[in-house]
Structure 1
Amino acid sequence: MTQKLPFAPQSLLAQGSPCQQQHDINDKQALIPPVYNSTTYLRDEDNQYRSGRVYSRADNPTYRAPEELIMALENAADARIFSSGMAAATAIFLALKPGDAVIAPTVMYWALRNWLRTFGQDFGLKVRFIDTHIDGAVEQALAQQPAQLVWLETPGNPLWNVSDIQAIAESCRRHGAMLAVDSTVATPLLTKPLELGADLVMHSATKYLNGHSDVISGALACRDNNAFWQRIVALRAQNGCVPGPNDAAQLLRGMRTLHLRVRESCESALWLAEQLQQHPQVKEVLYPGLPSFAGYHVACRQMQGGFGGMLSIRLQGGAEQAIATAAKTQLWKRATSLGGVESLIEHRASIEGAGSPVPDDLLRLSVGIECKKDLLRDLEQAFG
């Protein structure tokens, strides 16, 4: 692993990239790195590529500023950005070999779960879904049948189950499995999976890293720049799952305010969770920061500085009341996504469809940066 840099996360974010001076920037005085829209690069007169750049799909210099920032925040050996969170996540699975075994959570991002159940298995992966947040579940599963990769999502969307990264990493080492963690909800500011023993960490950069609902992107970072990581890097280039240069620049701009947005969302989400668990219309609040939540103690160990801006509520009136509530909100916006400056509300079971483990009385809430009291009042008037 690389050594920790002697800067606070907010200092790294504010300047955009800790290694900005290494970029081949034409104007060395530019505060903001330029955007390179060129798709190709000139050869030298002797037919060489001494610049190290051949074609933009593999090595557009605009990518490197956000990648270096992610490396610094995750204390990673290397990082790469992708065209979407799904592109980043599936790159890990496609870097495996047909016949390899994978363990993944029962409750996780539905699109990736569906990909594993369909395209992943068609590719030849042997996928087992287990409750990774239960103590000892991964250890038991690995002891019963070896796996090449364990995939965690913590907190897990949309029930926000918390898996113990450090304990599971130790199990993976004992049984020769790699560990990859989707840390989208925690962000690098709250949890650092690589420091807890994970081999790879993934972010849907569309969410908190960008934070403004105007860029689709994903990111991967590694603890060791090893052969498997180089396979992922090659796969990214050959499959072409890279963002456009303007999206990369927009991602970097969004990350400059990551620490401010995450802090505000965490504080508001915790306050809303505490208020809503006392509301007579609410049957249950799912949020890692509540002492009553099953994963609270693990969250306290591995989430530093907050418990995230995501929570879910289950309503006494079931699916009918949940759908009606989402329809009546005014400040909360009815849209699918999370991690933006605007607060979003969604009846999650409607999105995931048949076979979803999500209760039909559940509303998923992505807390933005609006006034928390206004957000509470809006929910209360919508409960009916």
Structure 2
Amino acid sequence: MTKAPHPRILLIGTGDTKADELIFMSNCIRKAGGEPVLMDVSVLGDPPYQPHHDKHAVARAAQATIDIIMASGDENSAMSLMALGATRLTRALCDAGEIDGMIAIGGTMGTDLALDVARALPIGVPKFVVSTIAFSHLIPPERIAADLMMILWAGGLYGLNSTCTAVLSQACGAVVGAAKSAIKPRNDRPAVAMTSLGKSCLSYMVELKPELERRGYEVIVFHTTGMGGRAMESIAAQGGFAAILDLSLQEVANHLAGSVVSSGADRLENAGKAGIPQIVAPGAVDMVDFPAWQPIPRDLVDRPFHAHNRLLASATSRPDDRRKIARAIAGKLATAQAPVAYVLPAGGIQQWDHEGEALHDPEGLSAFVDEMRAAIAKPVELHEIRGHINSPAFVETILGIFDRWVEAGIVPAGKPAAAS
């Protein structure tokens, strides 16, 4: 499909309060070779220009009127309704082929709305948010779309200035450039998601990926350091995978421990809700991650500890905490609306738990394995192996389950490349 020479960029903002910024951004989009399509999400006032999609169109998409939205209670409820309308209208424009990308601008209110809109767009459709709270812990991981781009709106609280225009011009150029060059995911082979960490911790992907590709699947590996798991959950929620090999779950443990290295409360839930079959294993679930540049959390100071680099460090959780993690995993899997197989490597669940390594903790591993055996209940399949998660036996077990599910029609058959 030939790309449009002038990609149509949906530009979202409150035109009653940010008209100068939005007009400036429209001009930047044109100068970069794009065509701005303005959507106004104002509630109280009107912009000094005519948007392509005005606030009344946004309200109608929420099955309301501006008067109803204004009378809804307060600014939070009003903007929540506008967010619903903007999300529905944006997705309809995308499905109709009327936009090629999206950029939104805002403070906390505008960002709140923009995050919903971005999540409604498929992966591969460029989505950019210019925000006064970009990269802030105010934004929960579960609100972030898998391929969202953000930039901090420095100097952008009120009115234009040279710092603000420097940021806005970069953002507009970035979204136009992305729309011109983006290659959307192909659909020629069934997609299989896999979660893992680096090879120094979890190495199964080295064997599993080529084996699954040989069977005719596209394998997409997600790095489970918070946002990687979030990206996988985001795509899973939209039904984007034929199957998921969720073999690294320390983001679940992180969230339970209150770590900032989290993928959100719904980690390990979206595939089940979407009816996607899952093969699951507890890779690295014994670790709690924290920023290496901060002091070790008080409840972990006496635990075995590993500094991965200057950004990320990990400590092992206590046996009682591992039992809680096991029960949480089992509870999430029990809600799945598709087959689930849980593979339990009783010999260890990450490279650094071997004897002689920094995170060796046989008491903790035993507590986790015992609790996991008790917590998993049918219809979830439990497959226990004596070996380590990085052993050949683990890979063989995963492939055995996967092949059986393909034969049974649970996972769609792959499309191996034709022999040359």
TM-score normalised per structure 1? 0.27
Higher relative contact order, structure no. (Cα contacts within 8 Å, ≥ 6 residues apart): 1
TM-score, normalised with respect to structure 2: 0.25
